Amino acid sequence: MTKIIGLTGGIGSGKSTVANYIASKGIPVYIADDEAKKIMENADVKQRIQNLFDESVLNADKTLNRKKIGEFVFNNPSKLKELNAIVHPEVHNHFKNWVKKHEKFPFVIKEVAILFETGGNKQCDKVILITAPEELRIQRAMKRDNLTKKDILVRINNQLPEAKKKELSDFIIENIDLSNTFLKIDEILKILAKT
C-alpha cells in the first residue's frame, strides 16, 4: 500500500522548494495549497465561501479575491475555521482520489502548510518538518510575498508553535543552507524507500 508522507513547515521555511526538489526525483508530490486554490474556484465551493462574508470577496472577473479573504480570516479565527470547514473536506476527497492514481508508488508526498493544525498528520505514515529560524523565515516571506513583517507574524501566530510541530514530526530539517537541506532530503528519501 502507498504510504503517505506529510511535508510541512511554517511560512518562509522553504517547504515549497523542498517539495519541488522531491518532485524532480520522480516522486509524486501533492501541493495541498495549490489544489485548494483550484477547488475554491469551483462554482459551488466559491458560492459557499462568498456566503461566509457580508461583503463581496470576488474580483471583477468573478474569481475569489484571496487577499481580501486573507485579511478577513487571519484576524478572525472563527471565520478562518468556517472557511477551513468548507475547503478542507473538499481537498481531503480530492487527495484520496489523487492517491489512488499513484498507488503504484511506494510512497507519495503531501505538502501542507497547516498539516498539524488540521489534523492531517493523522492520515500520514511519517511527517517531514522543514524549519528555519523565525527571523530568516520572516525575511524570506517578506521578499517572496511582498508582505509586511506584521502580516507574516499574524500568520506565524495562527499556526502551531514550532516546538510542538517538532514533537509531532518524524524527520526535522533545519533549512538554512539549501544544498545541505537537499542532502538531508536525499537521506530521508532513502530511508522511506526501504520502509
The answer to the question of whether 2 is labelled as a binding residue is: no
Whether residues 164 and 87 share a domain: the answer is no
The domain boundary residue, chosen from 54, 70, 101: 101
* pLDDT score, position 183: 97
The pLDDT of residue 147 is 84
Looking at the structure, tell me whether residues 21 and 58 fall in a common domain.
Answer: no
- Please check if 24 is assigned to a binding site: no
Task: Answer whether 108's CB lies under 8 Å from 28's CB.
Answer: yes
Q: What is the pTM of this model?
A: 0.88
Cell of 128: 517531514
Does the annotation flag 56 for ligand binding?
no
- According to the annotation, is 181 in a ligand binding site? no
85 with 129, same domain? no
Domain count, the chain: 2
Domain enclosing residue 170, as ranges:
1-28+105-195
62, 122: one domain: no
Shared domain for 124 and 97, answered yes or no, is no
Q: Spell out, as residue ranges, where the chain has pLDDT lower than 70.
A: none
Please indicate, yes or no, whether residues 123 and 165 belong to a single structural domain of this protein: yes
pLDDT tens track for 47-94 = 999 999 988 999 999 999 998 998 888 778 899 889 989 998 999 999
143 is known to lie in a ligand binding site: no
Q: Per the annotation, does 12 bind a ligand? A: yes
